[in-house]
Each structure stands twice: as C-alpha cells, then as structure tokens.
Structure 1
Amino acid sequence: MSLLLLPILLGCNEAEPTVDAPTADSAADHSSPVDASPADVPTADAPDEPQPDAPSELQRDLAQEAEALAELKKTHERFSFWKLKRNADGAVIKLDMRSYATDANVVHLQKFKQLEDLTIVAGSPNKLSDRALEHIAGMTQLTSLDISFSEVTDGGLTHLKGLTNLRTLILRACAKLTGTGFENFKGMTHLQTLRCGSCENLTDAALAHLPTFNNLEVLELNGCKQLTDAGLQSLAGLTNLKELSLIFCENIGDPGLQSLAGLTELETLDLGATGVTSDGLVSLQKMTELRGLGLGGSLLDDKGVKHIENLKNLKLLIHTGSELTPEGVAQLKKALPGCVFNDNAIGLPDPN
C-alpha cells in the first residue's frame, strides 16, 4: 500500500482554519449604531409653537391715545370741535382744546406720548388752575404750549420746569401771574416765542428771568401795565429778537426804549399807547431791519419824523391818534415810498 493513501485510510482530514472568539475590546471597536442605546441616538427637536409678536412702542402709544380720546369724548359734548393733527404713523402731534379744556379732562393728556403742540385754553367760567399744569408736567416732548386765559399762579409754573423742549410758550391774560415764577423757565434754552400779552399783573420780576433766552425771537408784552423802564434793561441782551410788542405798557417811556437801542434785528416793534415821545425815537435809528412800527396813540409829532425816515425797510407805520401833521406825514411818505401809513388801527396786526 502506498504511503500516499495512508491519511485517507486512517480517516484523518486536513485541518480547518479556526476563528478566535471576539474579545470585549474588539466588540467595542466594531459596534454598530444599531447596537447603540436609545440615549445615544440624536433626535430632531420638535418645532416651536409660533408666538405672537409683542406690540411695538408705536402700537402701545396708539392704543393709549385711543383710550385717552375715548375718555375725552365723555368729558365734553362738543369734542368734535377740538382740532387734531396726526403724523404719518397716526399718532396725535397737535391738539387744540381751545374753550373746552378743564382741570378734570387735562389728566388724560398724559397718554399722548408723541404730542408736540398743545393748546388747553378753558372756556369761562371753568378756567384752568395749577392742577392742570400738574397733569402735564411729565409731557417733556412738548415744543409748543398755550395755557392762556387761565388762573395759574407763579407757584404753579414749577410744574413746567421740566418742559425744556419748548419753543413756544403762550401765557396770554393769565391775571394771577406776577413773573416771580418765571425762574422755572431757565432750563427752556430753546424758547423762541414767549407771549404774555394782557397779563396785567406781570412785573419787572418776569423780565429779570429772560436774559438767558438767547434764542428768543418773539416777545409779546402788550397790556402788561406794571412793566417799567427799569425792567426793559433786562431785554438789552436779547439780540436775536425780531418781534417785540409793548403796546399799552403805559409806564414805558424814552429811557426804556433807549435800553432796546441795540436790538438791531427787530422787524416789528409796537410802542403804541406808551409814554415814548418823538425825542425818544432816536433810539430807533439803528433798527434798520424794521418792517412794522406801531406808534398809535403815542406822543409822536413832526419832530420824530427825522428819526423814522431812515428806516428804509419799513412797510407799515401805525400812527393813529398821534400828533403828526399832514406835512409830517407827507415828509415820511416821500422818504419811505414803500411804506403803508395807517391812521385807523391802534396796534400792529396780531400774527396769531
């Protein structure tokens, strides 16, 4: 028997390769994502529920205004007579409550956050008091305020101290004001127009607080009969003044006008029914920008012509009740051919 057949005959098979059992380390190295625990599997976040947009500041302002207007309508049956002006966004920027304002309904104005121009003139007999000013003390965005014909006092003006953005302040016919409360206006450095006409108890104390108003262009003091020549000295530095009314200030005379001689930017000056004489008009000679001059009811006579005829820009001269003769008028007309001479009116036209 051949030796080559021996393994077969003996039943011996060729050895098969063996595979080692996997170790713990190798198992870890070949792990599959399928074998990973649920905690290790990333999951997609659930979509957030849509949230409503928060109201904008403008939307909140408009909502508050709507509430305030609704309340105001309840306070006066003639609400429709009030004048409103809105900006492009629909917010109220001007409100004129002339003749219908009261201490009670002014409280609602605090909700007008963008209001710039406010007129709160009460109708007789319900005149506004200091309480009304208290309600508007926080309206620092105001640029124009009219509280004429009210019973506010000097003490009440303290509520206006924070309104430093005012350009226009109108206090006509506020009979209880003497002017001591004007100290509260010193922060109003932007003030351009101050109208205090017919404040019959206003004194020189008011004028003493005006020199800091370097931007003041319009000053109305007509009918303030307590003012004197001494008080006008406080106005000497207001070199930007363009309009000054002193009509019916009967205690103002030539010395007072002399204090104003340096106000060369003046365009209108009303001295009607004052104590200014023809001799005092020499103080006008440098006021060459004058367009309107009121001398109605004054002591003007022909001697004053020489002080006026060099005012070549003059367009209107009121001389009603003066002592000018026809010859004096003729001389002025020759010197000022572009000027209108009015002997019917007492004062210059009121721009407002």
Structure 2
Amino acid sequence: MILGHFIMGGACSRKRDQQQVEDILNRGASGKYSKSSSSKWLATSLSRSGSDVKRRNGECPSLLELCIRKIQEDVDRYTTFSHLPRDISQQIFDELVYSQRITLKSLEAFRDCAIQDLYLGEYPGVNDDWMDVISSQSTSLLSVDFSGSDITDSGLVSLKGCKNLESLNFNFCDQISNRGLEHLSGLSNLTSLSFRRNGAITAQGMRAFSNLVNMKKLDLEKCPGIHGGLVHLRDLTKLESLNIKWCNCITDADMEPISELTNLRSLQICCSKITDFGVSYLKGLNKLNLLNLEGCRHVTAACLDTLTALKGLMFLNLNRCNLSDSGCEKFSDLINLKILNLGMNNITNSCLVHLRGLTKLESLNLDSCRIGDEGLVHLSGMLGLKSLELSDTEVGSHGLRHLSGQTYSSPFCIFCVLWYTLMQIISTSVLINTFLCYHIGLSNLESINLSFTVVTDSGLRKLSGLTSLRTLNLDARHVTDAGLSALTSLTGLTHLDLFGARITDSGTNHLRNLKKLQSLEICGGGLTDAGVKNIKDLPSLTLLNLSQNSNLTDKTLELISGLTGLVSLNVSNSRVSNSGLRHLKPLKNLRSLTLESCKVSANDIRKLQATDLPNLVNFRPE
C-alpha cells in the first residue's frame, strides 16, 4: 500500500463537537426578506469536510497530504484501503467526497475500513447500492449523513448491524416511509436523528422512536403527517432538542407529551396550529433555553404568562405570532401606579411587560408583532440581550430611547428621581432594576433589525451609544444621509443593511469610519460612481450589494477592484457593461456575482470565470 511505507498509524483522535448549533431566531421565512438580486449570502458555499491541502505562504505540504492527493488523482487504481489506519482511510474518504471523485466503483475500496463518519449529504448518486459497503464499517460506524439521497426503506435494512451509530441524517430523503423507520428501532445508541421534509412519516411510524432511549436531538421539520405521533416520545427522557418547525399538523393535543420531556433545552414549533393553551404545557420545562414559535398565528399575548415562568430562556422567537399591545393591562394596579409616577406614560399597555423576568435572554425576535414604542421600556432590563428583531413592527424613533438609555441634565435631577423612586417602590425590586436599566440601555446589544419600521433619522441618533452593535438592518425609506451620519460612532459594525434607505453619494462619506464592515447593502437608487469612492476604502468587505442604483457604470467596478476580499458582489440594475468586467479580474475570492438587468451577457461572465475567477460558482445572468 502506498501509505504503508510512510505512516506509522497515528492516533485516531475523533474530535466531535457535541454542541448543536441551531439555525433559528433570525429573519424567518417571511417573503419580505426575499430581496430580488440581493445575494444575502452565498447559499452554494461548500464547507470542506476533509483535510485542507492549501498551504500558507508557499509552505510545503506534509507527506501525508501529498499521498492523499496522489490517491485522489488515481483512486480507481486501488482495490482496498482496509489495511491502512482508520484515521488515514477517513481522510482519504473525506477528500474524495469533497472533490466529488468518489463513485460506487471507488467506494468498494473502503469496504471493511472501520470508518467512523460518512458525510454524503447532497452527494450525487447515493442510493441503496452504496449501503453494502457503508454497512461493512459495522460497529465502527458512528455517523452517516444521507441527506438528499435516493436511499429507500430497503436500504435501511443494512444499518441494523451498525449498532454503535450515534447520528443519522435523512433530510430530504422522500423515499423513506414508516416501513423504513422500523429498521432503525434497534439502534438504541442513536443520539441524533433527522428526517426533514418527509411527507411519508406518520404517527404510526413514529412508534419506532420509542426504543431510541438515548436520543438527544430529533429533527422532524416539514413532516406534515406526524400529528398524534409525539406521544411515542414520552420515554425519550434524554431528549434535549426537538424540531417540528413547519409541521402545520401540530395542535395543542401534541403539546401534552412534550410537557414530559423535562430535559428539553431547544424546542421549535414554527407555523403550527397550537394556541395559548398548547403553550401552557411548556410551563414545567425549566431547562428550556431556546423556544421558536415563529408563525404560530393562534399564539397571542396571553401565552406570555407561561413564557415568564421559563426563567432559563436565552433565545425566544415570536416572529409573526399574534402579539399585540392592545388590551394588555395585566400588570397590578399598584405597579401601574408606580410606573406612572415615574412619568413612563402608557408603557403598561404593552404585552412586553410579561417578558421582564426573562433576564437571561440573549436573542428576542418580535418580527411582525403589533408592538409600539413604549413597550420597549420593558426590554431595558435585559442587559444580556445581544440580538433584537423588530422588523415590521410599529416601533418608531421615539421608542429607541429605551434601548440606548437616557440621561438627565444634572446630577441633582438624577439624585431626586432615584430618591423618589426608591421611596415609592422600595419593595418592588424588579421595577427598581427596570428603572436603573432604563438609563443604562442595552449595552451588550450586538444585532438589531429595524427594517420596515417607521424609524427615521432622528431615531438613529439614539443608537449612537450602542457601541457593541455589530449588525444593523435599516431597510427603510425613512432613513437618509442624515441618519447615516449618526452612526459614525458605531465603529465596531461588521454588517450594515441600507437596502431601501435613501442614501446618496454625500451619505457614503459617513462610512469611512466603519473600517470593520464586512457586509454592506445600499440599494435605494441614489448612488453614482462618485459615492463608490468612499466604499472602495473599506478593506474588510466580503459582501457588497449596490443593486438598484441605475446610475452606476463600469467606473464602479474599477473603483472596487481593490476590494480583493469580496466573496459576493451585486451591481444589478445598473449601467455596467461587458467591457467593465475586466476590472473584476483581481477579485480572486469572488464566489457570487450578480449583474442582472445590466449590459452584460452570461457568456462574457463565463469567459471571465474560466480565465480569472476560478472560485466563482454562482453568477447571474447565467
């Protein structure tokens, strides 16, 4: 064997990240975020799972890397890798998957290699014919990703002998049904199982899950037939994460068995039919720190009493729930009086008052909820809050003062107010805390979304003190150059979205202080080439969206040619032409290029891709 002469085995240190990262509490699926030609990020990026053979500064690759590279080039010459150390076989397999060189024929060389992880998600051609070699890894096999494959119920029979399997991913495998689940029921060591977007799994088939007593993570997102099946999860007492997003069949009746899963830390129930009554079953889930109720239209402010009991919540998504400030007057008369004495008029008429006790919250999504300015005072005590979504709410400039803090004109005035307040509410510690935080502001806030609100330039001045901000979304026609000038103190910003804002060339002068910007969108139509001169000096930019600015010309491409870190560029609906494409040659890292409604042909972009932009994988026109 080619590697046997050079390698002495080596330790097989299988490092697995046990923490599961949840892709939630961001913008959700609302259509208003589907900005035409916006390139929010590059969905086609491929994460490399194998060894990275690129070396820094011309550094010589290791002998192992050279050997693996040689095998990759001549893989069909080898009949077996079973005599190699397991970790070497694993690296060869990963490299072949990454380079898309593995086929059913070359797969045969990995028979009986005792490989632990087979990540074949979205890999072309994977079907039941692959299962014989995969199952030959036997008890060594710990993790397999079959997402997007043509594996069927019959193929799952082969996994019965892989008794140590811990993780299985069958996302988008629409040929697996209840019959296939039966073949998994004996894999009692499974801790993670995923069946996203499967219309064939029903409540009856979920009986097989009852034997998987070591399960910690179960993902049934977009499985429309599972109503009534959650009862079979009662014995999964170790379950920590349950995803039933976009299962519109879920009702209040399904929530009762969930109430017994007391180790749950993450629960996602988007776009279901549950009501406030269903949410009430969650009251005893004291370990819950992530709750996603996005799009649950029958959930109202009445459920907030239940949520208040979940003191450990760190991530809460109420996007497009039926939350409204109107009629929310559930605070006691005594506390109402104390707040009014502080001059905070009308703030009790907000459903957000019930969230005041969730002091551990780090992320709160109130997108599309009917809340207004004064309710934001109830968020002022959440000093750990890092991400706040207020898109498409009734929040305006006036309410932002509660987030940024407010100072009084003299020390004497401050002393008087504090003295009076403490005398009035000395027994109401929560309210004292709220009052003090009202003047401190959300000093740890890193991300805020104010798109589609009525926030104006005057409101942005109230954000100038939030120096921890890294991400700011101001997709609103009310924002102009004057508002942008108020943001110059936010030098830590890395992502700034001004998609619909009315920014002109003059306004871009205010971007010069934001040297850390990695993502910038200015698409209001007011820019010319002159304004791009201030953007070309932002060295950290990786994403730049200047679409909808119809006066931009080829000069813009010349100006930004020095932004060599760009990964995504969008200059659609402009006067850019084919002759300007030559200015993009230095952008070797570019992976996405959008020039729709420009005088540019797909053929010319392909030529540029072939000669100068080897990393370009996504372009329009195409």
TM-score grouping bracket, smaller chain normalisation: 0.5 to 0.7
Aligned to 1:319: 293
Corresponding residue to 2:234 among 240, 257, 261: 261
Distance, in Å, in 2 between the alignment partners of 1:110 and 1:278 is: 54
Distance, in Å, in 1 between the alignment partners of 2:239 and 2:68 is: 30
Q: Describe how 1:170-185 pairs up with structure 2 within 5 A.
A: 170-174=145-149, 176-185=150-159
For the Cα contact (< 8 Å) 2:81–2:110, is it kept in 1? no
Corresponding residue to 1:232 among 201, 206, 213: 206
Compute the displacement of 1:249 (Å).
0.8
Aligned to 1:167: 142
Compute the displacement of 1:223 (Å).
1.5
Distance, in Å, in 1 between the alignment partners of 2:220 and 2:76 is: 32
Q: Describe how 1:267-306 pairs up with structure 2 within 5 A.
A: 267-274=240-247, 275-306=249-280
Compute the displacement of 1:108 (Å).
5.3
When the two structures are superposed, what TM-score results if normalisation uses the length of structure 2?
Answer: 0.38
Q: Say if 1:103 and 1:85 are closer, same or farther in 2 by CA, change over 3 A.
A: closer
Q: Say if 1:325 and 1:233 are closer, same or farther in 2 by CA, change over 3 A.
A: closer
Q: Describe how 1:40-79 pairs up with structure 2 within 5 A.
A: 60=5, 62=7
Q: Say if 1:317 and 1:114 are closer, same or farther in 2 by CA, change over 3 A.
A: same
Aligned to 1:33: none
For the Cα contact (< 8 Å) 1:103–1:128, is it kept in 2? no
Alpha-carbon deviations, 1:145-193, whole Å to 9, x = none? 112223222233122221010111111111x211211111111111111
**Equivalent position amino acid for 1:184 in 2:** S
Alpha-carbon deviations, 1:20-41, whole Å to 9, x = none? xxxxxxxxxxxxxxxxxxxxxx
Distance, in Å, in 2 between the alignment partners of 1:342 and 1:199 is: 28
Aligned to 1:330: 304
Compute the displacement of 1:225 (Å).
2.3
Compute the displacement of 1:110 (Å).
4.3
Distance, in Å, in 2 between the alignment partners of 1:335 and 1:246 is: 27
Corresponding residue to 1:241 among 215, 229, 240: 215
Corresponding residue to 1:189 among 163, 169, 180: 163
- Shifted more, 104-113 versus 153-162: the winner is 104-113
For the Cα contact (< 8 Å) 1:107–1:135, is it kept in 2? no
Distance, in Å, in 2 between the alignment partners of 1:279 and 1:82 is: 41
Distance, in Å, in 2 between the alignment partners of 1:225 and 1:59 is: 48
The 3-state SS of whatever aligns with 2:113 is coil
**Equivalent position amino acid for 1:314 in 2:** L
- Shifted more, 153-162 versus 112-121: the winner is 112-121
The 3-state SS of whatever aligns with 2:151 is coil
When the two structures are superposed, what TM-score results if normalisation uses the length of structure 1?
Answer: 0.65
Distance, in Å, in 2 between the alignment partners of 1:271 and 1:305 is: 14
Distance, in Å, in 1 between the alignment partners of 2:319 and 2:286 is: 22
**Equivalent position amino acid for 1:272 in 2:** K
Compute the displacement of 1:300 (Å).
1.8
Distance, in Å, in 1 between the alignment partners of 2:63 and 2:202 is: 45
Distance, in Å, in 2 between the alignment partners of 1:91 and 1:172 is: 33
For the Cα contact (< 8 Å) 2:118–2:145, is it kept in 1? yes
Aligned to 2:351: none
Aligned to 2:391: none
Q: Structure 2: any 5+ residue segments left out of the alignment?
A: 10-47, 54-61, 321-622
- Shifted more, 325-334 versus 314-323: the winner is 325-334
The 3-state SS of whatever aligns with 1:62 is coil
The 3-state SS of whatever aligns with 2:128 is coil
Distance, in Å, in 1 between the alignment partners of 2:261 and 2:172 is: 26
Distance, in Å, in 2 between the alignment partners of 1:177 and 1:103 is: 28
For the Cα contact (< 8 Å) 1:121–1:128, is it kept in 2? yes
Alpha-carbon deviations, 1:262-321, whole Å to 9, x = none? 111100001112222111110112100000001011112111022111111100111111
Distance, in Å, in 2 between the alignment partners of 1:286 and 1:160 is: 36
Q: Are 2:317 and 1:342 equivalent residues in the alignment?
A: yes
Aligned to 2:487: none
Q: Say if 1:157 and 1:59 are closer, same or farther in 2 by CA, change over 3 A.
A: closer
Q: Are 2:85 and 1:114 equivalent residues in the alignment?
A: yes
Aligned to 2:51: 84
Q: Say if 1:82 and 1:197 are closer, same or farther in 2 by CA, change over 3 A.
A: closer
The 3-state SS of whatever aligns with 1:328 is helix
Alpha-carbon deviations, 1:42-72, whole Å to 9, x = none? xxxxxxxxxxxxx9x98526399xxxxxxxx
Aligned to 2:385: none
Distance, in Å, in 2 between the alignment partners of 1:82 and 1:108 is: 22
Compute the displacement of 1:138 (Å).
3.3
Alpha-carbon deviations, 1:309-334, whole Å to 9, x = none? 11111001111111343423412321
Compute the displacement of 1:82 (Å).
7.4
Compute the displacement of 1:136 (Å).
2.0
For the Cα contact (< 8 Å) 1:102–1:132, is it kept in 2? no
**Equivalent position amino acid for 2:136 in 1:** G
**Equivalent position amino acid for 1:170 in 2:** D
Q: Describe how 1:112-151 pairs up with structure 2 within 5 A.
A: 113-116=84-87, 117=90, 118-119=93-94, 120-121=96-97, 129-140=103-114, 142-149=115-122, 150-151=124-125
Corresponding residue to 1:204 among 167, 171, 178: 178
**Equivalent position amino acid for 2:7 in 1:** L
Alpha-carbon deviations, 1:102-143, whole Å to 9, x = none? 9984765944822434435467xx796533432322322x11
Distance, in Å, in 2 between the alignment partners of 1:282 and 1:269 is: 14
**Equivalent position amino acid for 2:116 in 1:** T
Q: Which has the larger radius of gyration?
A: 1
Corresponding residue to 2:189 among 187, 206, 215: 215
> RMSD of the TM alignment (CA)?
3.6
For the Cα contact (< 8 Å) 2:221–2:246, is it kept in 1? yes
Q: Say if 1:109 and 1:195 are closer, same or farther in 2 by CA, change over 3 A.
A: farther
**Equivalent position amino acid for 2:85 in 1:** Q
Q: Say if 1:162 and 1:92 are closer, same or farther in 2 by CA, change over 3 A.
A: farther
Q: Structure 1: any 5+ residue segments left out of the alignment?
A: 1-54, 65-80, 346-352
Q: Say if 1:186 and 1:289 are closer, same or farther in 2 by CA, change over 3 A.
A: same
Distance, in Å, in 2 between the alignment partners of 1:189 and 1:136 is: 19
The 3-state SS of whatever aligns with 1:145 is strand
